[in-house]
Amino acid sequence: MSEPLTLRIAHLYAHFLNIYGDRGNLITLLQRSAWRGIGVTVDPIGLNEDFDPAMFDIYFIGGGQDKQQQIIAADLNCRRKKLHEAVNGGSVILAVCGGYQLLGHYYRPASGDELAGISLIDAWTVAGSRRMIGNVVVRRPDGSTLVGFENHSGRTFLGKDVEPLGRVITGNGNNGDDHLEGTAQAVGRGKVFGTYLHGSLLPKNPIFADELIALGLARRHNSVKLPPLDDALENEAHERALRLRA
């Protein structure tokens, strides 16, 4: 009898980085796990709340306006050591937009002080003069596509050894210049996924959602092959989004 599968997810700063509907990503991870009989939990980790880095398989941090980022940045830096320890030990992070920006070295907003990031990835972000808003289509290295919606003024640049999540087909992505979007960077035994794709991202990108679930499960269970789900509706939504203009 194989061991029952469990998946433990931490939601960082749920009450602050939450204005772009990114909690839909958690709903997707919960539902796609529950449909497979996986025992999945989501625990919020807020300001001044500590956590055991050995506890969680997946960490999620959403997007937010500069103001919310300013509120949480100092606290996130207090968690820096534990988040590095968690990812090096095999955990996965999915970070969207404002959360993604703070995983790099810094985020320099259009006004106010530069915000220190936790340097989990070799990247940095500087606000540009124009806001990048619209539909985005990204081609991943395996040829699959991601669809979503971007709304950011920050322009993120990746260090030379950092893997992007994919190449932009429609829209701006990281900075509107290098045609790269996000990051999919192995760190120790774990992985850091950053992206500018709101939407929320995962409901219309079931392949990526399942990649995150499988990676999260692999931290404490032997590598798991997820049974397929009926993704007709998700794939229809994905195909329609592919046809949207930027």
> Which positions are catalytic?
97, 198
Residue with Cβ nearer ligand GLN (152 or 238): 152
Alpha carbon distance 35, 195 (integer Å): 26
Residue with Cβ nearer ligand GLN (63 or 203): 63
For 234, phi then psi, to 5°, come to -60, -40
Contact with ligand GLN (CB under 6 A) among 7, 12, 16, 20: 20
Q: Whose structure tokens read 């030990």?
A: 89
| Shortest distance (Å) from residue 212 CB to ligand GLN | 19
With binding defined as CB under 6 A, does residue 192 bind ligand GLN?
A: no
- Using CB atoms, what's the residue nearest to ligand GLN? 63
Contact with ligand GLN (CB under 6 A) among 29, 42, 63, 201: 63
| Shortest distance (Å) from residue 83 CB to ligand GLN | 18
Report the Cα–Cα distance between both ends of the chain, in Å, rounded. 50
**How many chain residues are in contact with ligand GLN, going by CB under 6 A?**
12
Per CB under 6 A, which of residues 122..151 are in contact with ligand GLN? 151
CA-CA-CA-CA dihedral for 147, 164, 88, 154, to nearest 10: -80
Per CB under 6 A, which of residues 147..166 are in contact with ligand GLN? 151-154
* Residue 213 CB coordination number (10 Å): 26
Contact with ligand GLN (CB under 6 A) among 25, 28, 33, 69: 69
Among 11, 3, 13, 12, CA closest to 39: 3
Alpha carbon distance 159, 178 (integer Å): 12
Contact with ligand GLN (CB under 6 A) among 53, 98, 182, 199: 98
| Shortest distance (Å) from residue 143 CB to ligand GLN | 27
Q: Are strands 123-139 and 106-108 parallel, antiparallel or unpaired?
A: parallel
For 38, 59, 88, 218, 233, the CA distances from 41, given in Å and listed in that order, are 10, 12, 22, 16, 25
Residue with Cβ nearer ligand GLN (66 or 234): 66
3-state SS, residue 214: helix
| Shortest distance (Å) from residue 35 CB to ligand GLN | 29
With binding defined as CB under 6 A, does residue 65 bind ligand GLN?
A: yes
173's tokens = 């992505």
214's tokens = 């499988």
Q: Which residues bind ligand GLN (CB under 6 A)?
A: 20, 63-66, 69, 97-98, 151-154
